[in-house]
Every structure is written in structure tokens, then in C-alpha cells.
Amino acid sequence: MAVDELDTRILRLLLEQPRTSVREYARILGIARGTLQARLDRMERDGVITGTGPSLSPAALDHPVLAFVHIEVTQGHLDDVGDALAAVPEIVEAFSITGGGDLLARVVGRDNAHLEDVIQKLISLPGVVRTRTEVALRERVPYRLGPLVASVGRAARA
């Protein structure tokens, strides 16, 4: 879906001020509330806006240890292992990947011992051949989309 300059202005505002009302967004942008709502509805329908909930911190939920676990899977069992990963609460996201492994999971733990317990649970899943774990030391660039939205906005103006 192509976004235009107004869409990118709306998206940037949503990222910068996520708890503001639609009426206030419209006032800030200088557009009608109905126009803004129609744009928001379209971007949700097209999958540009995928959620409106709060962003939560695993560390604040007593899970400060973050690791990336590469999981090698027996051929033909990728879907089964993916489904099993969804049942592990400490796995906050997982992706099919190319390269060194079949899946990459973002895993959180209360401490290193808890992380080891989670990894041992992963290793015991049917279809998992082996894992390789990398523990994150410090976040250098937090998850962000503002710069990407700004870049898309510049391209829309060009």
C-alpha cells in the first residue's frame, strides 16, 4: 500500500504522541476529524497500522534478560515447532529465517538461570535439533519506526 505525505505526517504523529485523541491529532495536522479517521481506518485495513496497544517492557515485568535464540529444526517440522514456540510465554517473538538456523526467537528471562531453563525447554521440543543462544548486553537502538516513516514521507514528496 502506498502512503502519501499526509499519511506519513499522521503516522509520525501517532508514533510521537501515541496517547493523544483523534480530535487533537486532527487539530495538530490542520485537517478535518473525518478525514483523519478515514485515513486511520484505511491504514488499519491495509495493515500499515497493526496495533494501538501500549508498548510493554519485559524488564519492568521482572524479565530483564534478553536473548536471541537460533533454532535448527528437523525438515518438515517448522510449523509444528513454530506452534510449540507460541506456547512458551518467555518467547516474545519468533521468525523463520535463512542462514544459521531455521527460526530466530527473541526470548526473555528473569535471570540467566531462568533463561537456561527456557532454552532447555526449547531443546526438548519435538523437531528441535539444536539451538544457539546470543545474550543481549545492552540495547543500542530501540525498536523504532519514526526514521523509516520520515524516509517514506520524503519519498512520497519526491
Nearest to 109 by CA among 78, 138, 135, 129: 135
Residue 49's pLDDT band (cuts 50, 70, 90): very high
Q: What is the pLDDT of residue 100?
A: 83
For each of the domains in the chain, give its residue range(s) and CATH number, in order of start.
5-54 (1.10.10.10), 58-136 (3.30.70.920)
pLDDT of residue 157: 73
Closest CA to 120 of 136, 102, 107, 139: 107
Q: Give 78-128 pLDDT, tens digit per residue.
A: 999 999 999 999 999 999 999 989 999 999 999 999 999 999 999 999 999
Instruction: Give residues with Cβ within 8 angstroms of 13, minimum separation 6.
Output: 20, 25, 28, 29
Query: What's the pLDDT at 108?
Result: 98
Instruction: Tell me the CA end-to-end span of the chain in Å, nearest whole number.
Output: 17
Number of neighbouring beta carbons within 10 Å of residue 101: 18
pLDDT tens digit sequence for 135-158:
999 999 999 999 999 898 777 776
